[in-house]
Structure 1
């Protein structure tokens, strides 16, 4: 009996401290609850606030735009380049298919392609590139400094390889291949790897959209 009373007293003390400090025993502070927890399949060191942020780039019409101009609705961002021989077309085609699936479900997501090859990817060229992938896809380029700043904000990687001998205009660019889901007023939400099918990507994005 004495032992049971001691146990109950200890439990009561823990509950009392929890109430005083606002701690929920089964998952941390209510104010820190992640409304997207059930949707997440990736982790970002330091938290999702470490990815994303403001940028200034140039759109397909040659107009200077900011992140606030571009991300006016849920958006799926991809950093690549139009001369990419395989990965970029495949990844962006996958993204476009996923966005079509979402649209069939009544969910609108904007596809955004940010070039990491501003020397060759002019606004006019990007307009043709994105039009072939999806009618609502927005292509962005800019000065090397603007592109670098946007890439650093999203913690992407890219590196220009040496051009072919005798052909300075032909070169490949190594780069990361994540797609980033970004919401207006919230910023970066999640990143997705390229091994997802269009259907899998659509399902994952839909989860975040419904949890907003």
Structure 2
């Protein structure tokens, strides 16, 4: 999966940015009425539960709506949640490459007033420090299942046998 994006601080990021630490990756958009804020709140709760262990994770929110989600809007949006959550955005083409690389999906959907919304994959992707996909945490998955999944990946840091 090859793509290049910009994080909320203006730094260039991509798949290599995720290497070296386990990561949680979620696709969404700042105008999302329910799934995105709910999931980012859930992620914030997981990170709170992990306490100091959370510092070992890279947590990325990738916008699927680069037309509306400028760097400033993205920074403001993720800033409403846990401080470990970083926002990434890219051109429409880079966004398509990122989504395809993660095997996620999204589509623009017109709504009544001429505006639009976005349908998208609602799961959070969990990756090991070496970039290998481990599992997903599903939308509304109970905290008592989500946090242990993340802890199991954190336990493998520095232990390639796990």
Please state which band the TM-score falls in when normalised by the shorter chain. Answer: 0.7 to 0.9
Equivalent residue for 1:59? 7
Contact 1:118 1:143 in 2 (8 A): yes
Contact 1:178 1:194 in 2 (8 A): yes
Contact 1:98 1:199 in 2 (8 A): no
Equivalent residue for 1:183? 128
State how far apart, in whole Å, the 1-side matches of 2:153 and 2:18 are: 19
State how far apart, in whole Å, the 2-side matches of 1:140 and 1:194 are: 20
Equivalent residue for 1:160? 108
Aligned pairs, number: 157
SS at match of 1:200: helix
CA RMSD of aligned residues (A): 1.9
Query: Which consecutive residues of structure 2, in runs of 5 or more, have no partner in the other structure?
Result: 157-161
* Among candidates 72, 92, 97, match of residue 144 of structure 1: 92
Equivalent residue for 1:15? none
Matched, 1:103 2:103: no
> Larger relative CO (CA 8 A, sep 6+): 1 or 2?
2
Contact 1:96 1:111 in 2 (8 A): no
CA deviation after TM superposition for structure 1 residue 107, in Å = 6.6
CA deviation after TM superposition for structure 1 residue 116, in Å = 0.4
State how far apart, in whole Å, the 2-side matches of 1:179 and 1:134 are: 15
- 1:65-116 deviation per Cα after TM superposition (whole angstroms, max 9, x unaligned): 2221244421110001110001110011101111221125677322210000
Larger radius of gyration: 1
Alpha-carbon spacing, 1:154–1:81, altered in 2? closer, same or farther (3 Å): same
State TM-score, norm by structure 1: 0.68
Contact 1:102 1:108 in 2 (8 A): no
* Among candidates 78, 83, 92, match of residue 31 of structure 2: 83
State how far apart, in whole Å, the 2-side matches of 1:143 and 1:118 are: 6
State how far apart, in whole Å, the 1-side matches of 2:106 and 2:87 are: 18
Matched, 1:129 2:74: no
State how far apart, in whole Å, the 1-side matches of 2:36 and 2:147 are: 18
Higher strand residue share: 2
* Among candidates 134, 137, 141, match of residue 196 of structure 1: 141
How does 1:21-40 map onto structure 2 within 5 Å? none
SS at match of 1:196: coil
